[in-house]
Amino acid sequence: MFSWLVSVALAAPNLVLVSMDTTRVDALSAYGAFEGPTRWETRTTPRLEAFASGGVRFRHFYANAPTTLNSHTTMFTGMDPHEHGVVRNGYPFVEAGPTLASSLSAQGYDTIAVLGAAALESAMGLGRGFRVYDDRMPQLRSIMFQDNAEGVVARAFEQVDGRETGKPLFLFVHFYDAHAPYAPPPRFRERFVDPEYDGPLIQRGPAYRQHVKAMRTDDADPADSAHVGALYLAEIAYIDEQLGVLLDGLQERGLLEDALVVVTADHGETLADDPMYAYSHGSNVEEDVMHIPLMMRGYGVDLPEGLVVDSQAAMPGLAPTLQRVLGFERTLGVHPDFWDLLRAGPVWDEDGWPERPTRVAFVEASRPRKAETTEGWNNLPLHRGVFAGGYGYWTGPWMKKRPTDWYDVPDAGNEAVFGELVDLVEAWDARAPEYRPVQVAPATEAALKALGYVD
């Protein structure tokens, strides 16, 4: 019996899962041109463009929540926030049950994670199933302990090179660089920032905070907004470069001869799109923070090449989909996976409206701007919504319920469709857990308070 399990494990492909923190989908040139005043150079992600051209790119992929720990917990478990109970950063994952790492470890995989920020430190509970969970953070940057992309890649190679061979590898790599304060390396700053800009935001500090306040009163200088946006895009380009270094290094080590490589994000970033929430994430659920990239490529693994999937997919389906692509029975979560959009042969896609919205994406904000409720699930009073069957709807604490214009908005007179969307959100909220008090690891408490995630 034991020898049979080993032979199965040895035949299994490697899995490399890369998460780009705070990465909105339209910042990637791999997803097309970015139109607006925030780009000095138009090509941010040439390595991801090449990567996606040989694999699968999902056009409509959504996270459930716009904070790091919450979204990554869904990424690893296949459970949505109302099921795994992680409110936001600082609320450890404590529910029983398997994760992607623990399920692959049981299949004989060597499991390694290399983290870019303390928001995912081991005390937060996602190290379950990893043999190595490298959360060493050498820098204190913007009050968050973190490592830059070059450091993350170097540590990934250190861990990979130090492991015993003979087992398939599951390597998780987390890049945090796109998160504020948008401080890219000089070589990328020079490429993306307008050299003629001489405004007050050349240096971060009080001027930056004044700019954010000016955004909320519609008094901000567009040149300042363009400058901040360019810094963000330079960070995206830096991640793309280092992702290329990672893939090249894994290729040289023979680890991509039989492998599935997946690149995604946990959430996006508002930038200047919504003045109320400028340069942030967590408090709203608009498309800039919920619509994220998902790309997959098979190296010796049977996946389509150059496929763009137009059908909607959501984060809870990712982990079980990866199980199936690797050749295992799915054991994670209860939400629909999207294996049928990837498998060879005719694509079986049942997603449609209103008869069968099969991959519903519920979205809820996870960062309160005011005092947090203690009556019921912490996030219930915050912005929330749903994407289903090609339609979208959202609501918030300061607005009436209304459909969104993110996707195909139901006609104003189509009350039946609008009612279905409302019913979906209300049914999801009815399944929410009880209020959960914060449980913060001592090493991250000060950083979380400084970032505004907890009071």
Same domain, 290 and 400: no
Peptide bond into 357 cis (omega under 30): no
> What's the domain range around 367?
361-451
pLDDT digits (tens, 9 = 90+) for 301-360: 989 999 999 888 999 999 999 999 999 999 999 998 999 888 766 666 666 666 666 788
Residue ending a domain, choose from 341, 371, 391: 341
In a domain, 254, yes or no: yes
Task: Kindly give the confidence (pLDDT) of every residue in the chain, 455 residues in length, as a single tens digit, with 9 standing for 90 and above.
Answer: 333 344 344 479 999 999 999 999 989 999 875 554 455 456 899 999 999 999 999 999 999 999 999 999 999 999 999 999 998 888 898 888 899 999 999 999 999 999 999 899 999 999 999 999 999 988 877 677 889 999 999 999 999 999 988 999 999 999 999 998 899 999 999 999 988 898 888 877 778 788 888 888 888 888 888 898 999 999 999 999 999 999 999 999 999 999 999 999 999 998 878 777 877 887 788 888 999 999 999 999 989 999 999 888 999 999 999 999 999 999 999 998 999 888 766 666 666 666 666 788 999 998 887 767 788 889 988 888 888 877 778 777 654 444 443 344 555 556 777 788 888 899 999 999 999 887 665 555 655 555 555 55
Are residues 439 and 335 located together in one domain of the fold? Answer: no
* Total of domains in the chain: 2
- Helix axes 318-325 and 68-77, enclosed angle (nearest 10): 40
Residue 232 domain-assigned?
A: yes
Nearest Cα to Cα of residue 445 among 67, 94, 118, 179: 118
Q: Which two tokens stand for residue 451?
A: 């970032």
* C-alpha to C-alpha distances, 357 to 232, 336, 392, 433, nearest whole angstrom: 35, 10, 12, 24
Domain membership of residue 354 (yes or no) is no
Phi then psi for residue 323, to 5 deg, are -55, -45
In a domain, 352, yes or no: no
Given a contact cutoff of 8 angstroms between Cβ atoms, the answer to whether 168 and 110 are in contact is yes
Judge whether 349 lies within some domain: no
The residue among 276, 308, 341 that closes a domain is 341
Report if residue 298 sits inside a domain: yes
202 with 257, same domain? Answer: yes
Asked if 138 and 87 sit in the same domain, the reply is yes
Instruction: Return the CATH number at 47.
Output: 3.40.720.10
In terms of domains, do 304 and 372 share one? no
235 with 367, same domain: the answer is no
Q: Phi/psi of residue 50, each to 5°? A: -65, -40
Q: What is each CA distance from 448 to 209, 230, 438, 441, 451, in whole angstroms?
A: 18, 26, 11, 10, 5
Domain boundary among 311, 341, 371: 341
Query: Using an 8 Å Cβ cutoff, are 333 and 315 in contact?
Result: no
- Is residue 353 situated within a structural domain? no
Residue pair 72/19 in contact by the 8 Å Cβ criterion: yes
Whether residues 332 and 389 share a domain: the answer is: no
Q: Does a structural domain hold residue 351?
A: no
The reply to whether 68 and 119 lie within a common domain is yes
Are 70 and 190 in a shared domain?
yes
Please check whether residues 290 and 197 belong to one and the same domain: yes
Mark whether 189 and 245 lie in a shared domain: yes
> Looking at the structure, do residues 415 and 268 belong to the same domain, yes or no?
no
